[in-house]
Amino acid sequence: MERQREEISLETATTYILEECRMVLPGIQALFGFQLIAVFNEAFEKKLSEAEQLLHLAAIVLVTVAIALVMAPAALHRRSQPRAVSARFIDVSSRLLVAGMFPLALGLTLDVYLITRIIAGSAAAAVAVAFTLLTVFGVLWLWLPSRERRRK
């Protein structure tokens, strides 16, 4: 039995998108804090080559971009339509939130690569773990939602 899709009001959709952003943001911010702390750790220079330190910097920049994208819907609403909502706002906000997942996935993958390389002592193992993680993100954040959208 196929379920019929129910349309929701713009106000409800706005509440959903802003709550989704609020749910994602604390985790990203916590990750960002740990990324910053790592740089000031003595082991950072000892255990990571200069190229790997630059990879960590790239991961920090990617997570910062993710934070900006995930926070953008709230700023957009507050600055452009504080007393109203529109279908365009919902569309743009949804795109911003989804766009934020890409740099987040890449930033997490880079840092997991570095951590795995330090712990396992092997670049090959680190690449394998990072590739697996990136695949998990791709399946959960791209393939699964696309499949569900097609099913409806």
Neighbours of 123 (CB within 10 A): 12
pTM equals: 0.85
Rounded alpha-carbon distances, angstroms, from residue 60 to 35, 67, 88, 147: 6, 10, 31, 31
The DSSP result for 41-89, as a single string, is: SHHHHHHS-HHHHHHHHHHHHHHHHHHHHHHHHHHHHHHH-TT---HHH
Annotated domain spans of the chain: 10-151
- Give me the mean pLDDT over the 42-56 stretch: 92
Mark 49-72 as b/e (b = at least 16 C-beta within 10 Å).
eeebbebbeebbebbebbbebbbb
Q: Which of 10-19, 40-49, 74-83, 102-111 has the lowest mean pLDDT?
A: 74-83
The pLDDT assigned to 1 comes to 44
- Give me the mean pLDDT over the 129-143 stretch: 96
